[in-house]
Homo-oligomer: A and B are copies of this chain.
Amino acid sequence: MKVAIISIGNELLNGKTVNSNASYIGGKLYEIGIVVEEIFTIRDEDDAIRNTLAEAVAKFDAIVITGGLGPTHDDITKKNVAAFFNSPLRFHEVVWERIEQRFRRRGKEIPVINREQAFFPEKARMIDNPVGSAPGMHFEENGKHVFVLPGVPKEMQAMIDGYVVPFLQKAAHLPPIRVHLYRTTAIAESNIYERCKELFQRYPDYEIAFLPKITGVDVRIADRTSGDAYPAFEKAFLDIVGKYVYARGNREIEEVIGELLRQQQKTLAVAESCTGGLVQNRITNVPGSSDYFMGGMVTYSNESKIQHLGVPREVLERYGAVSEEVAREMAAGVRSALSTDIGISTTGIAGPGGATPAKPVGLIYIGIATAEKDFARRFVFGKDRLINKQQGAMAALELLRRELTG
């Protein structure tokens, strides 16, 4: 099955909006084994829409169109696609009822502009829009399928997941697929590949993709088989790189940490220097984090490290603020100041200034303190301040995760 996407909207061509919709659709179809062959990004213009649609219908089996369906929009997508399929727009009772219901639930009058949305092409099937007022359209002609969806990401995503993906999977007679995601950190893509090469060769049916990010590599494994062999494969995979897997599925490390702290009924405090609040910001992104996160400090100056964390002045003077000793003192200090079970700390040189011959930009120590012990680990990242903050925060969260999982 050959599939293309047509993305409609001037804002996609003048740099105002990045075309993340096409990327979402491409990723979702890829997961069920359909490769998008081409994305056409075109202007909100009658000719552009009709010509591109004619070209795409000639070359591809299925086409997903997004954009130009909103109520404040000129709605030229609907008009043009309907004309292309010789399918007049008629007032559609069911569409109208849905719009009415939506506004009634919110206790609002229906703006005149939304009445237009109840006009629907005769030949199209309606695609339910669970999160907005404009329904999607599904045209079928000579075995070709054209899906027309709004450009609003939430609405488009709901219709892709709820309608287009299941429909195409069935139409293309694709076997069901299971996608497994393993999120890793502190290991390079090439290193994962080298270590797992033989294993991957032994299981050639699994499609393996690496998605590198600044703070780690996501490994996505697509299984189109019966799934019977997967547990044995997964066990072997995790025996090799499981240590670096901080999450299975699409979760953030701060969610995993939150769950571990909650299970173990432990509380946390954080003292940050070079990461400047980013560790605490990530931890508090999790709803309900106030149950286990008591708070923390950003101690940018030596004085505040002494006064608020109780780092001994002589330790600071002897080893410098960026040192294993100070990282340990900071972790222990914040743990004690906030009376928590665990304290973690970061101290380093985010850059671009502040380096010395012995202490380069990118040098970061992460400290951990519990009732039983305290220790620190040394990391050297790169030259970019913002990336150093991100990688330093991730290293701190990962060290905490490993402490919690033993």
Question: A residues touching B (Cβ–Cβ < 8 Å)?
Answer: 12-20, 22-28, 30, 35-43, 48, 52, 209, 211, 270, 272, 275-281, 283-285, 287-290, 293-301, 303-304, 307-308, 337-339, 350-354, 385-386, 389
Contact = CB atoms under 8 A, between A and B. Distances in A.
A128 B52 CA distance: 35
Contacts of A280: 276-277, 298
A296 B298 contact: yes
22 contacts: A12-B23, A13-B35, A14-B30, A15-B23, A15-B30, A37-B48, A38-B52, A270-B298, A276-B281, A276-B283, A277-B277, A277-B280, A281-B281, A284-B298, A287-B353, A289-B300, A290-B301, A290-B354, A295-B299, A295-B300, A297-B297, A304-B338
A240 to B, nearest CB: 23
Contacts of A20: 18
Contacts of A24: 15
Given A19-B18, A284-B276, A39 B12 contact: yes
A20 B275 CA distance: 27
A interface, over-half SS: mixed
Given A279-B277, A281-B281, A294-B301, A16 B27 contact: yes
B41 A13 contact: no
Nearest to A15: B27
A12 B22 CA distance: 9
Given A279-B277, A288-B353, A211 B297 contact: no
B38 A40 contact: yes
A37 B40 CA distance: 11
B40 A287 contact: no
Contacts of A339: 303
A300 B281 CA distance: 12
Contact of A43 (B19, B37, B276, B307): B37
A272 B297 CA distance: 10
Contacts of A279: 277
